[in-house]
Amino acid sequence: MKTPRFLFTCFVAAIVAASGPALFAQSSKPNVIVILADDLGYADLGVQGGKDIPTPNIDSIAKNGIRFTQAYVSCPYCSPTRAGLNTGRYQTRFGHEFNEPAPEQRANFGLPLSEKTMGDRFKAEGYKTGAIGKWHLGYGAERRPMARGYDEFYGTLGNTPFIRATNFMDSRKPGEPVTLTDPNFYTTDAYAERAADFIKRHAAGPFLLYLPFNALHVPAQAPQKYLDRFPTIQSQERKLYAAMLSALDDAVGRVLGALREIRQEDNTLIFFTSDNGGPMTKMGQNGSNNGILRGQKGDVWDGGIHVPLFVQWKAKLPAGKVDHRPVISLDFLPTALAAAGAKVSAEWKLDGVNLLPFLQGTNTANPHDHLCWRFGPQWAIRQGNWKLVQGFDESTIAAPGQPNRYAVLKPQLFDLSADPGEKKDLSAAQPQKVAALKALYDQWNAENKDPAWLPNPNPAAAKKK
C-alpha cells in the first residue's frame, strides 16, 4: 500500500512535469521585449482611435499597461531612430543623422563602433540577447547585430520587400546576406515565428528581445489571407495597409502568447512603438493615417515624431493607465536597465531617463525638462506644452521621396495643449518664448556632431524660405 507521503511526492512531481521548467526555474530579473513598428500611422491602432483596422493584440499592451499620449521618437526617419533607441543617446551626438547614402558610399554607414547598443548593455548583465527583424544600423560585418551585442539575429540588414526578402541573414546559418526565393516567406509572419521560438528557448530567462518589424514600410505586400479580412475597404492602398497592420497585430499576439505559454508575461517589460509617423503622401506613402497631427514621416512636425507608445510590465506597473507627460524612445534603455537592476554609468552619457519612478507613481514631475530634434535643416524643441519648430513647408512638395525640393519655414511656436495639430503660430505674439526656446535648442545642438554621411536624396539640401 502506498503511503500518503509517497502519494504527495508523486502529486508534486506531476505538477512540476506538467508545468515545465518555467514555473520554478525563472530568473528574478525581468525579460525585456522592444517591439518596433515601421511607419505606423499615429491614429491607426484601435486604442488610438482607429476604426477600420482591428488591432486587439497591440491594444492589449496599452490596456494591460500604460499608454502615453505624448510619446516621441528621436528622429522622423528609420535608421536614426533605431540608433537613438539602441543607445539611449540622441543619434546626432555621434553623427547618425540620416539613413544610408547611395550604395557606393555605404562602407562607413551604420552605428559607430564607439557606441554601445542595448544588446551590449544587457549581454553584460547576463541576458540572452536577440534581434529579429529590420536592423538598418549598418551592412558591414562589424556593424551587424552579431557584432553589436546580440547573440542571435534573424532578419534583414536594411529595408526589404515582405516577400522574397533582401539582405537577409540568419545567425544559425553563417554566411553573407542573401535574397530569399521562397514565395511563401512573409517577413511579419516569419519574425513572429522566430520571436516565439526565441522566447520559448529562453524560458528560464532573463532575455532581451529587440523586435523591429519592417511592417508597415513600403513596398506594401500582404498575403491574400490578410487582404481577405478587409472586403469593405475600397482604397487599394488603404486595404494593403490594413492587411499589413492586421498581420503585425497577429504577430504581436504570437509574441504575447509565447510569453503566456512559458508563464513569463507578468515578468516581462514590453515596449511597443513606431520608428516614426506614417508617410501619408511622401517618403514611401503607405496608406497610413496620422489623425490630427501635422506632417508625416520625414518631418519634425508632430506627425513625423509623435508616435504611439505602450509599456506593459504586469508585475510592477499599473494597468489601463494613460500618461500625458512627454517621453522619448531614448528612455527605453535606461528604464529597462533599471528594471534589470543594472547600474548606469555617467560615462555612458545617456540622454534617456529611467521612467520607472514616473510610471510607478513615485515621481509626478515631467521626466524631461525639454526634448530636441535635428534632421538636416529641420529642427524642433519641446518644453512643457510649448514647441518651437523649423519644419518643411508642405506646400512646396514637388514629388514623393524628394525632400531636397522642400522649402524650410521660419521657426514657428505652438502651444500643443491647445493646438496639437500645430495650426496656430504664436511666434509673433510670444517673441520672448521663441528666444528662450531657441537659446535652449542652441545649447543642446552645440553638443551634437555634423552628420557622418548624407543620404540620397539629401534633406540637408533644402532651401530656407
The tens digit of pLDDT for each residue in 337-367 reads 999 999 999 999 999 999 999 999 999 999 9
Say whether both 231 and 256 belong to one domain.
yes
Q: Please say if the pLDDT value at position 429 is more than 90.
A: yes
Cα–Cα distances in angstroms (integers) from residue 463 to residues 13, 23, 281, 404, 410, in the given order: 73, 61, 20, 8, 11
Say whether both 418 and 336 belong to one domain.
no
Structure confidence at residue 15 (pLDDT): 44
Beta bridge partners of 271: 34, 311
Segment 133-147 shows an average pLDDT of 97
Q: Give the DSSP per-residue string, 160-188.
A: --SSS-SSEEETTS-SS-B----TT--HH
Tell me, yes or no, whether 7 lies in a domain: no
Residues 6+ apart with CB under 8 A from 428: none
Distance CA 412, CA 149 (A): 41
Say whether both 274 and 202 belong to one domain.
yes
Structure confidence at residue 407 (pLDDT): 83
By CB atoms closer than 10 A (0-12, 13-18, 19+), residue 58 is: buried
Q: What are phi and psi of 464, to 5 degrees?
A: -80, 140
199-248 per-position pLDDT tens digit = 999 999 999 999 999 999 999 999 999 999 999 999 999 999 999 999 99
Say whether both 424 and 301 belong to one domain.
no
Say whether both 196 and 270 belong to one domain.
yes
Say whether both 45 and 164 belong to one domain.
yes
Distance CA 273, CA 251 (A): 14
Q: Please say if the pLDDT value at position 462 is more than 90.
A: no
Distance CA 256, CA 273 (A): 15
Encoded amino acid at 263, one letter: R
Name the average pLDDT for the chain. 92
What count of Cα atoms within 13 Å lies in the side-chain half-sphere of residue 414? 22
Tell me, yes or no, whether 426 lies in a domain: yes
Q: Give the DSSP per-residue string, 219-250.
A: SP---HHHHTT-TT---HHHHHHHHHHHHHHH
Q: Please say if the pLDDT value at position 130 is more than 50.
A: yes
Structure confidence at residue 455 (pLDDT): 83
Beta bridge partners of 373: 380
Structure confidence at residue 448 (pLDDT): 98
Contact indicator for 240, 181 with CB cutoff of 8 Å: no
CATH number of the domain residue 397 falls in: 3.30.1120.10
Task: Count the domains in the chain.
Answer: 2
Segment 315-337 shows an average pLDDT of 98
Say whether both 333 and 213 belong to one domain.
yes
DSSP annotation of 66 reads E
Is the previous residue joined to 219 through a cis bond, with omega within 30 degrees of 0? yes
The SS3 call for residue 393 is: coil
Report the candidate in 139, 130, 178 with the shortest Cα–Cα distance to residue 32.
130
Q: Hey, what long-range contacts does 426-431 have (CB within 8 A, 24 or more apart)?
A: 427/388
Tell me, yes or no, whether 320 lies in a domain: yes
Report the candidate in 57, 36, 33, 55 with the shortest Cα–Cα distance to residue 46.
55
- Domain boundary residue, one of 328, 359, 390: 359
Tell me, yes or no, whether 366 lies in a domain: no
- Domain boundary residue, one of 339, 359, 379: 359
Structure confidence at residue 457 (pLDDT): 61
pTM to 2 decimal places = 0.92
Say whether both 161 and 218 belong to one domain.
yes
Say whether both 304 and 354 belong to one domain.
yes
DSSP annotation of 217 reads P
Say whether both 339 and 407 belong to one domain.
no
Q: Please say if the pLDDT value at position 456 is more than 80.
A: no
Task: Name the range with the highest mean pLDDT among 97-106, 393-402, 442-451.
Answer: 442-451
Segment 140-167 shows an average pLDDT of 97
Q: What are phi and psi of 299, to 5 degrees?
A: -110, 150
Say whether both 314 and 290 belong to one domain.
yes
Distance CA 442, CA 432 (A): 15
Bridging pattern class, strands 128-134 and 31-37: unpaired
Structure confidence at residue 318 (pLDDT): 96
DSSP annotation of 296 reads -
End-to-end Cα separation, the chain, in angstroms: 94
Segment 281-306 shows an average pLDDT of 96
- Domain boundary residue, one of 359, 381, 400: 359
Which structural domain range is residue 429 located in?
A: 371-464
169-186 per-position pLDDT tens digit = 999 998 999 999 999 999
CATH number of the domain residue 283 falls in: 3.40.720.10
Tell me, yes or no, whether 11 lies in a domain: no
* pLDDT > 90 fraction of the chain, expressed in percent and rounded: 86
Q: Please say if the pLDDT value at position 18 is more than 80.
A: no
The SS3 call for residue 85 is: helix
The SS3 call for residue 153 is: strand
* Alpha carbon 253 to chain centroid, angstroms: 17
Q: Please say if the pLDDT value at position 37 is more than 70.
A: yes
Tell me, yes or no, whether 18 lies in a domain: no
Tell me, yes or no, whether 277 lies in a domain: yes
Q: Please say if the pLDDT value at position 17 is more than 80.
A: no
Tell me, yes or no, whether 103 lies in a domain: yes
Cα–Cα distances in angstroms (integers) from residue 206 to residues 86, 125, 218, 251, 334, in the given order: 18, 9, 34, 22, 17
51-90 per-position pLDDT tens digit = 999 999 999 999 999 999 999 999 999 999 999 999 999 9
Say whether both 45 and 114 belong to one domain.
yes
